[in-house]
Each structure stands twice: as C-alpha cells, then as structure tokens.
Amino acid sequence: MKSSRSSSWAIGGLVVFLAAGVLAQVPSSTPSTTSTAAVVPTQVPSSQPLPHNPVYPDTPRDNRTSPSFPDSEYVKLLDYSLRFYEAQRSGKLPPDQRVTWRKDSVLDDGKDVGLDLSGGYFDAGDYLKFTFPLTFAMTETCWGALEFWKGYELANQTRYLDQMVRWGMDWLIKAHPNNNTLFVQIGLDQIDNNYWGPDTNIPRPRPSFQVNNTHPGTDVTADAAAAFASCAMLYRDKFNDTAYSNTLQTHADSLFRLAETATPQQLYQAAVPAVACCYKSSSFLDDLAWGAAWMYKLTRQSVYAQKASQYIDRLNISNIKISAVSWDDKAGFVYVLMAGATAGTGDNSAKWQQMAEKYASFTTKASKPCLMTKGGLYYCTGDSGDDSAVVAANAAFILQIFASQLTAAAGGQSIDPSVQERIDSYRSFALGQVEYLLGDNPLKTPYVVGVHPNSPANPHSAPASGGTDVDNIDSSPEKMMYTIYGALVGGPDKNDRFSDIRSDWQQSEVALDYNAPFNGLMAYQVMTSEVAPPYVVIPAGRPDLPPILNGMEVWQIILIIVACIFVVIAIGAFVCYRKRDQIRAWANAKKEKKANDYSTAHPMKPTVNRNNNSNANTSNTNDNNQDQAVRSLAVPPPPPIRSNQQEQQQQQQQQQHRPVPPPPLPARGEPVLLENVHRS
C-alpha cells in the first residue's frame, strides 16, 4: 500500500537505525561539456533567474492558436519544470544556479557515517532526502528524454536537462559507495516535520540510513539499478557522453546484482524502518522487473528479458488489472517498456505487446478502481487521494509513449486502421489529462505554480514560504515569499475541488516524482502542439462550484434521499405481496365483524309463517334462508304481502288473545269486594 508523506506537524516516536560500516566511495566522474546540437526555437527561454513573484499578461488571449512553432507557452512550461528541480537542490549550489533564493544547505550530510552525502535533491516540501522516489524520478525523466528528445532540442532545454539529471545521478553515485551498500534516506521525519523555515537553519541530527548485503532492500536497490541504466542510455545515445554513461552502467550492474543476490529478498522498510513514515514499499517484484527491463534495454542481453518476464509472472497478474503507476507500482511501466524494447526480437515480444495493449486499453476505458471525475481527471481510489495530479500525469505519460511506439513500429508505412484507432484513443486520453492539469477543469486552475493568476498560490514548500512558525504555516506569512515556478502540486480531490492552503499537503505539496512525467509530457507538447495550453484563454478568478455537504454535492444528497424513499416503498410492496393471503383474511374478518356489529345494533323482528298449506316446510326453509341473507346484509326485509282473508284471520286471532283489562280501583273509603279482583 502506498504510504503518505507526513504532514508538517506530525510527531512520532524516535526511530534509531545503526549504520553499518562502509567502504571506499566510488568517485564521481567529471561533468561532460559534450552535447548534441540543439534546434533553436522561435523563442528561447532566458537562463536568467525568474522574478520572485510572477508577472502575468493583463488579459487572456482570444484563442489558443499559437503564433509560432514550437508554442512559446509549452516551451516555458518545460523550462519551468526543469527549474523546479533547481529549487529542490541540496548541498553546495553551483554558480549558474537560476533559483537564486535558494542557499547552500546541509553540507555535512553523511558525516555520521564518514562520507560526503551532501548534494542531491530534497524530496518534497521539506528537507528530507529519499532514494526511492529520487530513482523513480530520474528513471522517468531519462525515459521521457529518450522518447521525446526532439522536444528538449526545440525548446533549447538540453543543457538544463543535463544539469537536472546529472545533479541527481551524481548524488546517487555518492549513495552507492561500494558494491554492497546503498544509502536510502538522509534525515529523520520526526525532526524535519517539526521544522518550517529557511534552508539555512535545517535542524540536526540528520542520520544516514542504508541497505546492504546483510540488511537488504530488494525493491529500492533494483529501482536504483533502473535509474542508472536508463540515464546511462540517455548519456550514451543522446548526450554522447560515453565516459559518464559507462560510470552509470557500472553502478547499474552492481546494484542489480545486489538486488538479486542479497538475501533474504525483502522490502526495504524491513531493514530501515524509518522509511515507512513516507515511502513504504508494497512489493519488490515490480522493482526487480523494472530493473531487469532497463538492463535489457541498455545491454540488449536476452537474459535480462527473461528475468523481467519471470518477475512479472511472479506478481500473479496474468490478468492485467488497472493500477496507478507510481514510485511504488511499476508494473504498467514494465509492460510498455518491454513491449517497445522487444519489438522485432525473439524475446517474448508478443507477450509484452499483449500485456501493454491490455493495460493501455483498460486505462483509457477508466475501469475501477480508476475512473474519471466529473471534470475529466483520471482518478484512482487508494492512490489519487494523496496526489491526484501525478497519477493522471503518469497515466498520460505511459500512454503517450505507447502510442509513439506503435507509430514507430509502422516504420513510416501506412498503419492498420484498427491500430490507428487505438493510437488515437491513447493520445486523446493523454492530451485530455494534460489539458485538465493546465486549466481545462471545473476550477479553471492550472495545477502548475507560477503560470497563471489561478495557479496554486500556496504550495506546501518550506523554503519557498519564507515562514518560520510550524504551527501556523497557512498564515505565517500570509503570502508566499518566493514563487516555486514550474512545480506540479498534489492536485484536486475526486470532486474536482482544490484546497489552496499550505497545510493541505495532499493537494498542495510539491515533490520530485510529481514533475518527472510532466517533463516528458511537456517535451512531447513542444514537439507536436500547434495550440497553446488551455490557461491562456482563462480569465483570472476561480469559479464557484456547487456546495458539497459531508463530501457530497447537493444533487448527490437529493439523489440518495429519493433512492432511500424508493427502497422503502419497494420493500413495503414486497412484504405485502409475500403476505397477501394473511392480509386478505384479515380484511375479510374485519368486514364480517363490522357486519355482525351492525346486526347487533339493529335487531330484526321475527317473521311468523302463517301458511297452513302443504308447503309449510318449504316456506320455513325459505324463511330461514331469507333470514340468513338479511342478517349478512344487515338490511331489514320488506314486510310480507298477505291476502284479505289472511288479514281477517290475523285480526280475529289478535282479538282472541288480547288480555282483559283489570276493573277500575274503588274510590277512597269504598270497601273492596274480592269478586271484583281480576285473576289472570
């Protein structure tokens, strides 16, 4: 599982790691001045320092049509992205340093182990140095330069690319002082994350942490081998610097051998628990495959292709699944890298091509856990929460490279329509993510610092902030002291919202690995784009988006309420259907009780049968049936119809049975005679 970078106020327990003894340091080669001839563009970026505060055009353009080729805005973006790495430099800064507000820093790194481990790059918005994300950033940058070298030439950025890569690789050479040792972290997060201030007063101690042949870190060692191999290829094939290329290849061979032979093979946090704070690894098999793939691409030795295939197979991912490619998951990169490297060979090229096609297809279709946000950002649950911008940039980077490989495989011949359709879909996906990151999003915000008034104004960067109060980094100072031009920030959330505050490090932090794919993507845009980035036509000011309650928009809450009501109704209907017989019996019983209650309250007079003919029995039966029917209906029957003779007989009977009234009582004082008393 990918680890999160620690926040600036995180406080944890002290982690102690005793550094093992180290041997003699491998010397760094002298920087070469050799480079290929560059094609000068219409507008050459200035090598002078940029102003501390950005200066933007007064009004946006009417349209995105570029007045020149290459487009000056994409040239600027590539230039700014490389400048960002100068803002992250550690150690003794060179005389031609363009980011002048940065100062020399932590020149005593490595003193605790008797080595000079100064230099290199600070990882993110703090002052720690990590090997794992650095090697990934170097590999991705060198790969992008190998694929899109022409873009660097057109933008006149090959010199700055050389400086950027060499600054990182020179430190990695220091970090690999012998065949059995690799330093993986300088500094301690519990100390560093409680400091928010300038680079001139970074707190100590800054312990040095290493993996070696007795305390292995299989993943980080293999990843370092990939960095040395990829950049060795860049210096050999593009910069024509054979000496430096050979030095890098020597380190690549040594590190890959260490990754394979040091036992037990394990995640590097098992040897260095301190790294779990920030860059905890989840597997070493993808790193071994990644290292083997780059060793194959550099040397063309089939044994490395076989190793890459074996390590990928051990990942048990024959059914290609979507995952966000990153410093911690390189499987998707391995598919595409090996598909290109083995094309036209007998080194299992069909297998790699199929795997790359599946991965690219699933990515463009945006299948779970990686889906598109409402605004169009490629967002992977579980990965994009900490840094959504780089997840989208990595996906765009890998698809742009795969599309270029498929185009190159045609060798200038006509491309099969079905293949061309896939190429177009990959390029469309990549361009969509690039344009989202450059302003074509609901907030009309380019997520690159210093290119537009809507750019992030408060990136999580201690050196750029100018503040010293770790408990109030959002308000002290109110405005950033320096602009860290070109930095790609963490990015928006799944609802396309962005929190432009320094303390929200998930969205506002800057980091080495964030800009690594951005370098290559901007080089490709310089090569191909005839229009400017989306932000050139966007006016200043972010639009107001619909409110979100408890992480959800209002329409989502309404939809949930309606859905709940529907579910309740559906459940009620289902229960009624299942109990329909009981309900029917209950309704009939209630109806019958009501009828009985009415009959009790309204009794019927008895009907006497006065027929003396031979049909008396039949008449009695009919009367009984009639009485039952009347009682069930609770309606009195009509009086019977009688003949005149029957009426006379009834009157005679009534007179015969009429009682005789008693005699009147005697008057007061009159004697009472017994014979006058009526006997009934």
The pLDDT confidence band at residue 67, using thresholds 50, 70 and 90, is: confident
For 503, counting Cβ atoms within 10 Å of its Cβ (0-12 exposed, 13-18 middle, 19+ buried), the class is middle
Catalytic residue among 500, 553, 623, 627: 500
Single pTM value for the model: 0.77
Would you put residue 382 in left (φ > 0), alpha (ψ -120 to 50) or beta?
left
For residues 139 and 114, give the distance between their C-alpha atoms in angstroms, rounded to a whole number. Answer: 28
Per-residue pLDDT averaged across 588-592, rounded?
78
Residues 433 and 493 in one domain: yes
Judge whether 10 lies within some domain: no
Coil, helix or strand at residue 413: coil
488 contacts 114 by C-beta, under 8 angstroms: no
User: What are the residues facing 379 on neighbouring strands?
Assistant: 371
Q: Would you tell me how many other CB atoms lie within 10 Å of the CB of residue 124?
A: 25
pLDDT for residue 21: 36
Spatial neighbors of 152 by CB under 8 A, at least 6 apart, are 38, 78, 145, 158, 161, 523, 526
Q: What angle do CA 342, 348, 349 make, to 5 degrees?
A: 40
Q: Is the pLDDT of residue 149 over 80?
A: yes
Q: What residue type is assigned to position 217 of the chain? A: G
Helix 285-299 and helix 331-341, axial crossing angle in degrees, nearest 10: 20
Residues 211 and 265 in one domain: yes
Tell me, letter by letter, the H, E, C secondary structure of 88-110.
CECECCCCCCCCCCCCCECCCCC
Q: Is the pLDDT of residue 303 over 80?
A: yes
Judged by average pLDDT, the poorest of 112-121, 126-135, 547-556, 656-665 is: 656-665
Residues 519 and 492 in one domain: yes
Percent of the chain clearing pLDDT 90 (strictly above): 67
The pLDDT confidence band at residue 668, using thresholds 50, 70 and 90, is: low
**Boundary (domain end) residue, out of 581, 601, 633:** 581
Residues 230 and 326 in one domain: yes
Judge whether 527 lies within some domain: yes
For residues 191 and 285, give the distance between their C-alpha atoms in angstroms, rounded to a whole number. Answer: 32
Q: Is the pLDDT of residue 371 over 80?
A: yes
Cα dihedral 155/159/163/166 (nearest 10)? 110
Coil, helix or strand at residue 664: coil
pLDDT for residue 367: 79
Judge whether 441 lies within some domain: yes
Per-residue pLDDT averaged across 296-314, rounded?
97
Judge whether 618 lies within some domain: no
Is there a catalytic annotation at residue 140? no
Structural domain tally of the chain? 2
Residues 190 and 264 in one domain: yes
Judge whether 471 lies within some domain: yes
Helix (H) or strand (E) holding 72: helix 72-87
Q: Which domain holds residue 493?
A: 72-545
| Nearest residue to 71 via CA among 98, 45, 108 | 45
Residues 460 and 577 in one domain: no
Q: Is the pLDDT of residue 38 over 50?
A: no
Per-residue pLDDT averaged across 173-188, rounded?
99
pLDDT for residue 586: 76
221 contacts 290 by C-beta, under 8 angstroms: no
515-528 per-position pLDDT tens digit: 999 999 999 999 99
For 351, counting Cβ atoms within 10 Å of its Cβ (0-12 exposed, 13-18 middle, 19+ buried), the class is middle
Q: Would you tell me how many other CB atoms lie within 10 Å of the CB of residue 604?
A: 13
Judge whether 678 lies within some domain: no
Q: Is the pLDDT of residue 140 over 90?
A: yes
| Nearest residue to 188 via CA among 172, 168, 173, 203 | 203
Per-residue pLDDT averaged across 447-466, rounded?
98
Is there a catalytic annotation at residue 509? yes
Residues 323 and 471 in one domain: yes
Judged by average pLDDT, the poorest of 10-24, 198-212, 282-296, 507-521 is: 10-24
For residues 471 and 274, give the distance between their C-alpha atoms in angstroms, rounded to a whole number. Answer: 24
Q: Is the pLDDT of residue 156 over 50?
A: yes
- The average confidence (pLDDT) of the chain is 85
Determine the longest span between alpha carbons in the chain, in angstroms.
164
Judged by average pLDDT, the poorest of 16-20, 151-155, 246-250, 372-376 is: 16-20
Residues 240 and 298 in one domain: yes
Residues 574 and 502 in one domain: no
Would you put residue 212 in left (φ > 0), alpha (ψ -120 to 50) or beta?
beta
449 contacts 477 by C-beta, under 8 angstroms: no
The pLDDT confidence band at residue 675, using thresholds 50, 70 and 90, is: very low
Q: Within 13 A of 277's CA, how many CA atoms are on the CB side?
A: 23
Phi first, then psi: give them for residue 157, nearest 5 degrees: -115, 10
Q: Is the pLDDT of residue 377 over 60?
A: yes
The pLDDT confidence band at residue 100, using thresholds 50, 70 and 90, is: very high
pLDDT for residue 638: 53
648-657 per-position pLDDT tens digit: 666 666 555 5
Per-residue pLDDT averaged across 326-338, rounded?
97
The pLDDT confidence band at residue 660, using thresholds 50, 70 and 90, is: low
Residues 433 and 289 in one domain: yes
- How does strand 548-549 pair with strand 208-212? unpaired
Tell me, letter by letter, the H, E, C secondary structure of 348-372.
CHHHHHHHHHHHHHHHHHCCCCEEE
Per-residue pLDDT averaged across 482-509, rounded?
97
Judge whether 606 lies within some domain: no
- Report the CATH number that the domain containing residue 84 is assigned in CATH: 1.50.10.10
The pLDDT confidence band at residue 568, using thresholds 50, 70 and 90, is: confident
| Nearest residue to 395 via CA among 322, 316, 309, 445 | 322
Percent of the chain clearing pLDDT 70 (strictly above): 79
Per-residue pLDDT averaged across 75-102, rounded?
98
Query: Higher confidence at residue 25 or residue 650?
Result: 650
User: What are the residues facing 371 on neighbouring strands?
Assistant: 379
Q: Is the pLDDT of residue 32 over 90?
A: no
DSSP 8-state assignment for residue 329: B
Coil, helix or strand at residue 182: strand
Q: Is the pLDDT of residue 190 over 90?
A: yes
* One-character DSSP codes across 530-588: SB--GGGGPPSSPPPPPPEETTEEHHHHHHHHHHHHHHHHHHHHHHHHHTHHHHHHHHH
pLDDT for residue 594: 76
| Nearest residue to 289 via CA among 322, 267, 315, 270 | 315
Q: Is the pLDDT of residue 9 over 50?
A: no
User: Which contacts qualify for 341-348: CB closer than 8 Å, 24 or more apart?
Assistant: 341/293, 341/296, 341/297, 341/305, 342/296, 342/305, 343/405, 343/409, 345/305, 346/302, 347/296, 347/302, 347/305, 347/306, 348/305, 348/306, 348/309
For residues 69 and 531, give the distance between their C-alpha atoms in angstroms, rounded to a whole number. Answer: 9
Judge whether 436 lies within some domain: yes
Catalytic residue among 170, 253, 509, 513: 509
pLDDT for residue 646: 60
| Nearest residue to 496 via CA among 390, 373, 380 | 373
Tell me, letter by letter, the H, E, C secondary structure of 434-468.
HHHHECCCCCCCECECCCCCCCCCCCECHHHHCCC
Query: Higher confidence at residue 275 or residue 61?
Result: 275
Residues 438 and 559 in one domain: no
Residues 332 and 442 in one domain: yes
Q: Is the pLDDT of residue 35 over 50?
A: no
545 contacts 443 by C-beta, under 8 angstroms: yes
Coil, helix or strand at residue 499: coil
pLDDT for residue 34: 35
